[in-house]
Structures are given as C-alpha cells and as structure tokens.
Amino acid sequence: MDFLLLKSQKNEIFTLIKDIGLNPANFKWEVVSNSINTFQNVSQLEYIDTQYYFKFDHIVEGHYAMFSPGFSEAVSEGQAISWDSQIEYVKEWLDRLKIEVEEPDLWELMSEQKELNIFVSDNIVVGESIQIDDHDRIENNLNELKEYLLKFGNVNISNQKIIMERLEYLNESSKRVNKKEWTLMLGGTLLSIIVDILRNPVVIREFITLANKLFSWLSGTPLITG
C-alpha cells in the first residue's frame, strides 16, 4: 500500500511555502520509495536544481520525516506520527531551506573576486584631461551606480554611507586629475566596493555589467574584467 499525500495536504504545504517567502514554482513533487519499506511509495517534495528535499516517509506508527537541509547536518529525520507533527517538521525544513538557497556562497564569491581585474585601455593617452563637458556625464553615471547599489545591494546604513562617500570622492576627483589617473581610481574604487561590501553574486555581476556599460565611453573597452 502506498502512502501518498492528499491534495489538501499538498495545498497546505503550498501555503506554507508562500508564507515563508519562497516561490512554489521552484518546487516539484515526486513519488519515491519509502526509506523504511521499499515496497511502498511515498511523496517527496524537492527544491528544483538542488539536492534539497522533504520526504514524507511512513512507518507502522504513522508519519516519518526525512529532509535536507537538516537541522545542523545535511540530512535530518524524525518520527512525526501525526500529520500536525509532520507539518512542524516541514516548517523547520522550510526555514533551513530558505537560509541555504538565499545565503551567498562566500567561498565561491571570494574565488570570483580574485579573478576580477581593472583594465585601462591604451586608447586613453597619458596626461589626457577630462573635458569639462564630461563632468556632468561622470556625475550622472556615478549617481546611477549609487542608485543601483542602494536599491539592490542589500547594504546596511553604515555601508550605504561608505558607498556614497567613495562615489562622491570619485566625482570630485574627476575635476582634479587626468583621464587615465581617474579611470584607474574609478576601477579601484568599484573593486573595493565589490570586495568590501557586496555579498550577493548576482548583484556583483549586474553591478559590473552596469559599470562597464556606463563608463565604456572613457576608452571604448570594459573597465572591470574577469
């Protein structure tokens, strides 16, 4: 005899997923073998494109839970018996799952950051001045970068202040130094923001793309590569 979830039970879990802030479209249902009795089939909810799952196992006494990520290890399991107790396990699993899927991989992020480089093209002549008409363009470009970081960077108040100070310094220095020196300062400042402040890999990639797009006019080439 198989022990598959009822439609009403799946709907209850659908609501829990939405309530915690995850997208139900990122989950899928599968029918798998019972861990205890392999001749029986049970329902398993999986988070797409990951190794994470919640298996609704069944034993003689009633419901049994097996899930990943676990409480403090890759996989946890426990005897639930009643459906209400099983739902409590599901809630705990969703809490852990949300952390794991939204937490940036800092080791991967560090590896990506090591590969980033500043490229200042030889198209910029040594000693070439920044034209007066370009000052407004620089200010507008820097403001666009600032707006993106404050909106999508998920940075705290202290780091917001650092970002604004660094970008404002760039804006003011564009009136004092030559074009090549300022381009180097720009690249160095943007890299420092990436390394010191940003943590989300998607935001970092979008920020680099935006910066390269906004400042390609300086030399006709991408400023940050890697």
pLDDT at 167: 93
Residue 77 has pLDDT above 80, yes or no: yes
Task: Examine the pLDDT at 113 and tell me if it is beyond 80.
Answer: no
Using pLDDT thresholds of 50, 70 and 90, give the confidence band for residue 154.
confident
Give the tokens for residue 112: 């990506």
**Is it the case that residue 55 has pLDDT exceeding 80?**
yes
Per-residue pLDDT averaged across 89-94, rounded? Answer: 96
Question: How does residue 205 score in pLDDT terms, banded at 50, 70 and 90?
Answer: confident
Per-residue pLDDT reduced to its tens digit, 160-182: 999 999 999 999 989 888 888 88
Residue closest to 189 by CA, chosen among 153, 142, 140, 147: 142
Segment 109-122 shows an average pLDDT of 58
